Structure 1
Amino acid sequence: MKAAQKFALIIGIIYLAIGLSGFIPAIVSQSGSMPPSIEKLGVVSGFGYLMGLFPVNTPHNIIHIVTGLLGIVASIALDSSRLFSGQLGIYYTTLAVLGLVPVANTFFGLFPLYGADVFLHGLTGALGIYFGFFATPSLLKLFKKELKEDAVSGEIL
């Protein structure tokens, strides 16, 4: 199992666990006083703080579950795990940046992206970009080997 496959599997398990735990009331603290930004949030069902730290709601939990399942499925093959990791990196880095912008930190009223979520999404995005685009040189070696074989056989690409 290559590095990108391990990353996709591990991140898949982590995000699946985060998404499922967002539906367990004992783990999600229902804040008595909601921050002012929650007034902008269109979907307040299931709102709370996962482990008292990460703001979540029902759509946010569903997205984490889908991310986790996609990661687990993508870990089967190297090319799909690289594609998953790269796309995950791009999307989650974008979410981290949106979480820093006061106007967009609730993703247009769908789910919260502020607070500790910025750090979680930023770290996930950075790792996804690394494992999706840089960490598996074996594909580059395979590609160079194919080019070399094609050059020897005289085929024009």
Structure 2
Amino acid sequence: MTPAPEVPNGPGPVSSPVRIAAYVMAVALLIVGVLGFVPGATSGFGDLEFTGPDSGATLFGTFAVSGLLNLVHLIVGGAGLIMARFRRAARVYLFAGGLVYLAMFAFGVAIDHTAEENVLSVNEASNWLHLGIGVLMVLLGFLPAQRIRKSEPAD
């Protein structure tokens, strides 16, 4: 039995590298967003503020978090779960999501972490994390949309 032909931008095979990468990034960001609201995973949970530099909470005792930053992770992760269903959308998600995290890195580098402008409540560690996530997502956006099949040798 032969599989039905795929619609060019319809849901492709789950084995599509770009879709798998989008799903993995989406789930990872959702986990980070949820853990930011979990006492134990978040040190100083009682000091968690929705926004601003006064949020004293840190994820795993290292990455500064706020309610707003956790929501950004949850929104980007949720968008990824939806967009990963389609090959083109998965690629757009990886590039656009990567740009969001690169912009958060640039924001974190440009501001004084103790100033009121630090609405995301970022610190040096979270800046590097955002850079890593952004670069990784952009690079993953270049993955092939279809699984590469090895050609079988001719008889």
| TM-score normalised by L of structure 2 | 0.72
Instruction: Specify whether residues 13 and 66 from structure 1 end up closer, same or farther in structure 2 by C-alpha distance, changes over 3 A only.
Output: same
Work out which of the residue numbers 17, 30, 42 in structure 1 matches 2:52: 42
| Residue-pair matches, total | 130
Instruction: Find 1:83's aligned residue among 92, 106, 117.
Output: 92
Change (3 A) 1:79 1:105: farther
CA contact (8 A) 2:46 2:57 kept: no
1:2 aligns with 2:16: yes
Aligned equivalent of 2:128, options 119, 144, 150 = 119
Match of 1:60 in 2: 69
Alpha-carbon spacing, 1:16–1:106, altered in 2? closer, same or farther (3 Å): farther
Q: Which amino acid aligns with 1:28?
A: T
Instruction: Give me the whole-angstrom Cα distance separating, in 2, the residues matched to 1:99 and 1:73.
Output: 28
CA contact (8 A) 1:106 1:114 kept: no
Secondary structure of the corresponding residue to residue 42 of structure 1: coil
CA RMSD of aligned residues (A): 2.8
Using the size of structure 1 for normalisation, the TM-score is 0.71
Q: Which amino acid aligns with 1:136?
A: P
Post-superposition CA distance 1:71-95 (Å, at most 9, x none) = 1111111011001001011111121
Higher mean alpha-carbon deviation, 96-105 vs 117-126, is at: 96-105
Which one of the candidate residues 122, 134, 138 is aligned to 1:129?
138
Q: Given the alignment of the two structures, is residue 29 of structure 1 paired with residue 43 of structure 2, yes or no?
A: yes
1:12 lines up with 2:23 in the alignment: no
Structure 2 gap ranges (5+)? 1-14, 147-155
Stretches of structure 1 lacking an aligned partner (at least 5 in a row): 139-157
The code of the aligned residue for 2:100 comes to Y
1:26-48 Cα offsets, whole Å, 9 max, x none, are 21111899xxxx9xx63746x40
C-alpha contact (below 8 Å) 1:11/1:71 kept by paired residues: yes
